[in-house]
């Protein structure tokens, strides 16, 4: 259900985590950038970084510390291989995990990819008042997460509640 007032635009950074993608082959990062802008949000920065926990953590930490970044969406590095390190990079930075995101993502994904959805370590959390979503690297997974969860939770008109309306209170002590 949506409220009828105009949506609140927020500032979002997108990080693709991959050892092989570049600006031309980064279809997942570009999909997310396009979708958030179509939804009326502002793309603050879009980057690609190698799947290295310290490089990931460095970029995400700088965005968390930047008061101009309200949300971060990463894609890639959430699988089970030895090179997949996004959860290990992000979780130490998170103040609160949004457990329901990973649970919902896998529940929705089972309809699309069956039991293979158990291999996803997609997660979300809040760090210094910044909302962070960590998605698998496939464009299909990013589409699923955006269409079914993220777009609605980053829409200030979604009722009965959404993450945007919580943003002013995320830094409360």
**CATH number of the domain encompassing residue 35:** 3.40.980.10
Residue 145 lies inside a defined structural domain of this protein: no
From the CB of residue 93, how many other CB atoms can be counted at a distance below 10 Å?
17
In angstroms, rounded to a whole number, what is the distance separating the alpha carbons of residues 75 and 35?
A: 14
Alpha-carbon distances, residue 146 vs 39, 54, 83, 108 (angstroms): 11, 26, 24, 12
Alpha-carbon dihedral sign for residues 15, 128, 62, 46: positive
Q: What is the DSSP letter of 87?
A: H
Residue 136 lies inside a defined structural domain of this protein: no
Residue-wise pLDDT tens for the chain (173 aa)? 555 678 899 999 999 999 999 999 999 999 999 999 999 999 999 999 999 999 999 999 999 999 999 999 999 989 887 888 999 999 999 999 999 999 999 999 888 877 878 778 899 999 999 999 999 999 999 999 999 999 999 999 999 999 999 898 888 87
Residue 3 lies inside a defined structural domain of this protein: no
**The total number of structural domains that make up the chain:** 1
Residue 84 lies inside a defined structural domain of this protein: yes
Residue 1 lies inside a defined structural domain of this protein: no
How high is the pLDDT of residue 134? Answer: 98
Alpha-carbon dihedral sign for residues 53, 59, 65, 69: negative
Whether residue 144 contacts residue 112, with contact meaning beta carbons closer than 8 Å, is answered with yes
Q: What is the DSSP letter of 76?
A: S
pTM of the model: 0.94
100-129 CB burial, b ≥16 within 10 A, e <16: ebbebbbeebeeebeeebeebbbbbbbbbb
Residue 4 lies inside a defined structural domain of this protein: no
Structural domain that includes position 55: 11-130+150-167
In angstroms, rounded to a whole number, what is the distance separating the alpha carbons of residues 29 and 159?
A: 28
How high is the pLDDT of residue 3? Answer: 54
DSSP bridge partners of 134: 74, 123
Residue 141 lies inside a defined structural domain of this protein: no
Residue 142 lies inside a defined structural domain of this protein: no
């Amino acid at each position: 259900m949506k409220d009828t007032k105009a949506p609140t635009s927020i500032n979002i950074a997108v990080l693709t985590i991959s050892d092989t993608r570049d600006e031309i082959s980064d279809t997942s990062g570009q999909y997310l950038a396009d979708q958030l802008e179509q939804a009326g949000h502002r793309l603050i920065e879009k980057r690609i970084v190698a799947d290295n926990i310290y490089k990931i953590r460095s970029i995400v930490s700088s965005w968390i510390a930047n008061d101009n970044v309200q949300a971060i969406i990463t894609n890639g590095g959430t699988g089970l291989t030895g090179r997949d390190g996004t959860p290990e990079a992000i979780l130490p930075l998170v103040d609160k995990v949004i457990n329901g995101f990973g649970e919902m993502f896998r529940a929705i994904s089972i309809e699309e990819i069956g039991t293979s959805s158990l291999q996803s370590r997609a997660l979300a959390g809040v760090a210094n008042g910044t909302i962070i979503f960590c998605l698998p690297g496939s464009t299909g997974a990013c589409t699923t997460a955006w269409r079914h969860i993220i777009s609605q939770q980053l829409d200030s008109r979604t009722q009965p509640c959404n993450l945007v309306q919580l943003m002013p209170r995320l830094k409360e002590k």
